[in-house]
A = this chain, B = another copy of it.
């Protein structure tokens, strides 16, 4: 295994040092492993997320004005621990309660729940919203129920914008829940990523195989399918999403790379998605094309479709200033 690291156990602390040096508007607590905004706004609802590392820019790259207040990055593909999530919650608390946005993985859900209880003991009100937008499989390696994936980014953006706007905790949580209910995702991998501590790819695919419905940790999807032109792969993903929740009207599309796929390919995949959606009477009103929720150096794409409302568009378009998303400021 060749990776740009010093050693597998130094990956997270080294990356956090880099984040601290690169982004003066963020505060990085190297001891507790928390990335938070350097300044907090009194009376604003705090928005916190976190999870295993290896999915960058998720979640640390979404900390900043108009989005998250703090993120708790675990070890690679490993949930952050309750004390760490508590520290993130404390960093985000500005007196109006804190929303936890939690991707639906068993470890994350348990540890965020324990952290919420610890926070309540300190009189910080916490509401949790669990995202589970991946339609590929019902239960999976790391979950009871569906996995939380790309829709989480939309939930973080919309909830963060509402919190910035002065909305109360109930409203911010309602919006995150609504985004999750209106979002669906599906992923296909061409090659597995390599976890530094494991030293070899997480799974092996033959030269003519793809993993259809793959998870963000390389966990299995629906089936090993045959490699096909991108038009067919994108069509498969959108068919799966459409079968679960019919797509119509104005949608937000995230054409996301898993970390090892060139941007030029993602634009080609996005073109196919737009054609498919046009053909099904939907309009791509907003989009992201690039690496937004990754799986280390895994090759492949995921597509997230969020059915928009005027309110969601307004919060999506609201100013945001984070390492990975920035507009309007």
Contact = CB atoms under 8 A, between A and B. Distances in A.
B15 A271 contact: yes
B294 A18 contact: no
B210 A2 contact: yes
Q: How many copies does the complex hold?
A: 2
Most B CB atoms within 10 A — which of A21, A53, A259, A299? A21
A77 to B, nearest CB: 11
A272 B6 CA distance: 10
Contact of A261 (B4, B14, B270, B287): B4
Contact of A190 (B3, B7, B229, B255): B3
B326 A5 contact: no
A17 interface: yes
A23 to B, nearest CB: 9
Given A6-B268, A190-B2, A21 B274 contact: yes
Given A57-B263, A263-B56, A326-B327, A269 B207 contact: no
Contact of A267 (B22, B54, B205, B291): B22
Given A2-B227, A4-B190, A267 B18 contact: yes
A4 to B, nearest CB: 4
Interface in A247-292: 255, 259-272, 274, 284, 287, 289, 291
Nearest to A287: B22
A302 to B, nearest CB: 12
A296 interface: yes
A260 B5 contact: no
Given A261-B4, A294-B263, A297-B260, A268 B11 contact: yes
A264 B269 CA distance: 25
A71 interface: no
A301 interface: yes
Contacts of A284: 21
Interface of A: 1-7, 10-12, 14-19, 21-22, 53-54, 56-57, 61, 76, 190-191, 193, 205, 207, 210, 227, 229-231, 233, 255, 259-272, 274, 284, 287, 289, 291, 294, 296-297, 299-301, 326-329
17 contacts: A2-B190, A2-B227, A3-B190, A4-B269, A6-B268, A6-B272, A17-B267, A18-B267, A18-B268, A18-B269, A22-B289, A76-B264, A259-B262, A260-B297, A262-B294, A291-B291, A297-B299
